[in-house]
Amino acid sequence: MGEGLLASIESPADLKRLPVKQLPLLAEEIRRFLLETVPKTGGHLASNLGVVELTLALHYVFDSPADRLVLDTGHQGYVHKLLTGRRDAFHTLRQLGGVAGFLRPDESPHDVYGAGHASTSVAAALGMNNADDTGWTVAVIGDGALTGGLALAALNNSCLARRRFLVVLNDNGMSIDPSVGTIARHLSSIKARQPARRLNHLLRGVISRLPGGKTTLRNVYNHLKDFFFYFFLPSSRAVVFEELGYSYFGPFDGHNVVGLVKLLGALKRIEDEPLLLHVITRKGRGYAPAEMRPTRWHGISAGTPVGEEEGTLPRPQEKGRRAVKSYAEIFVDTLIDLARKHPELVAITAAMPSGTGLIKFAELFPDRFYDVGISEDFAVTFACGLAAAGKRPVCAIYSTFLQRAFDQILHDAAIQKLPLVLAIDRAGIVGHDGETHQGIFDLSYLRMIPGLVVMAPRDEEELRRMLVTALMYRDGPVAIRYPRGPAAGVELSADPRPLTIGTWEGLRSGADAMILAVGPMVSEALRAAEQLEGRGISVGVVDARFVKPLDEAMLSRILSRSEYVLTVEENVLSGGFGSAVLEFAARVPREHRASVETIALPDKFVEHGSRAELRIRYGLTSDALVERMALHLGKAARELEVV
- Over 356-368, what HEC string results? CCHHHHHHHCHHH
Task: Give the pTM.
Answer: 0.85
d(CA 474, CA 469): 10
* CATH number, domain with residue 415: 3.40.50.970
Q: How confident is the model over 428-460, as pLDDT tens digits?
A: 999 999 999 999 999 999 999 999 999 999 999
Give the residue, 220 or 124, on which the prediction is more confident. Answer: 124
For 57, phi and psi rounded to 5 degrees?
-65, -40
* Residue 530 is assigned to a structural domain of this protein: yes
Sequence-distant (≥ 6) Cβ neighbours of residue 52 within 8 angstroms: 27, 30, 31, 79, 255, 285, 286
* Residue 499 is assigned to a structural domain of this protein: no
Tell me, yes or no, whether 242 and 360 share the same domain: no
Beta strand extents in 125-174 (DSSP E only): 137-142, 165-171
For 616, phi and psi rounded to 5 degrees?
-65, -45
* Residue 302 is assigned to a structural domain of this protein: no
| pLDDT at site 5 | 95
Domain interval for residue 214: 194-236
- Taking residues 619-634, report their average pLDDT: 92
Q: How confident is the model over 66-104, as pLDDT tens digits?
A: 999 999 988 899 999 999 999 999 999 999 999 999 999
Tell me, yes or no, whether 439 and 467 share the same domain: yes
CA-based nearest residue to 398, from 350, 449, 339, 469: 350
| pLDDT at site 381 | 97
Which residues are marked as active site? Answer: 283, 376, 404
Q: How many CA atoms lie within 13 A of 366 on its CB side?
A: 1
Tell me, yes or no, whether 231 and 248 share the same domain: no
Tell me, yes or no, whether 222 and 259 share the same domain: no
| pLDDT at site 207 | 44
- What SS3 state is found at 569? strand
- Taking residues 575-579, report their average pLDDT: 97
Quick one: CA torsion of 185, 187, 188, 189, rounded to 10 degrees?
90
Tell me, yes or no, whether 10 and 68 share the same domain: yes
Tell me, yes or no, whether 456 and 342 share the same domain: yes
Q: How many CA atoms lie within 13 A of 151 on its CB side?
A: 27
User: Residues 154, 184: contact at Cβ < 8 Å?
Assistant: no
* Structural domain total, the chain: 4
- Residue 511 pLDDT greater than 60, yes or no: yes
Sign of the CA dihedral running 154, 155, 159, 163: positive
* Residue 313 is assigned to a structural domain of this protein: no
Tell me, yes or no, whether 201 and 230 share the same domain: yes
Tell me, yes or no, whether 246 and 362 share the same domain: no
d(CA 65, CA 63): 6
* Residue 10 is assigned to a structural domain of this protein: yes
d(CA 179, CA 148): 11
The number of beta carbons lying within 10 Å of the beta carbon of residue 367 is 7
Q: How confident is the model over 524-549, as pLDDT tens digits?
A: 999 999 999 998 999 999 999 999 99
d(CA 149, CA 146): 8
| pLDDT at site 303 | 84
Sequence-distant (≥ 6) Cβ neighbours of residue 555 within 8 angstroms: 504, 516, 581, 584
Q: How far is CA 608 from the centre of its chain?
A: 13
| pLDDT at site 1 | 45
* CATH number, domain with residue 571: 3.40.50.920
Tell me, yes or no, whether 360 and 476 share the same domain: yes
CA-based nearest residue to 603, from 572, 564, 634, 641: 572
* Residue 219 is assigned to a structural domain of this protein: yes
Q: How confident is the model over 98-140, as pLDDT tens digits?
A: 999 999 999 999 999 998 899 999 999 999 999 999 999 999 9
* Residue 421 is assigned to a structural domain of this protein: yes
Distance (Å) of CA 477 to CA 261, 393, 408, 434, 591:
52, 10, 12, 29, 37
User: Residues 418, 476: contact at Cβ < 8 Å?
Assistant: yes
Q: How confident is the model at residue 633 (pLDDT cuts 50, 70, 90)?
A: confident
Q: Are strands 345-349 and 275-280 parallel, antiparallel or unpaired?
A: unpaired
Q: How confident is the model over 190-211, as pLDDT tens digits?
A: 766 554 444 444 444 444 444 5
| pLDDT at site 296 | 83
Q: How confident is the model over 41-53, as pLDDT tens digits?
A: 999 999 999 999 9
Domain boundary pick from 481, 513, 529: 481
Tell me, yes or no, whether 230 and 277 share the same domain: no
Tell me, yes or no, whether 467 and 530 share the same domain: no
**Quick one: 323 exposed, middle or buried, by C-beta within 10 A (0-12, 13-18, 19+)?**
exposed
Residue 280: what residue type? I
Tell me, yes or no, whether 343 and 459 share the same domain: yes
* Residue 44 is assigned to a structural domain of this protein: yes
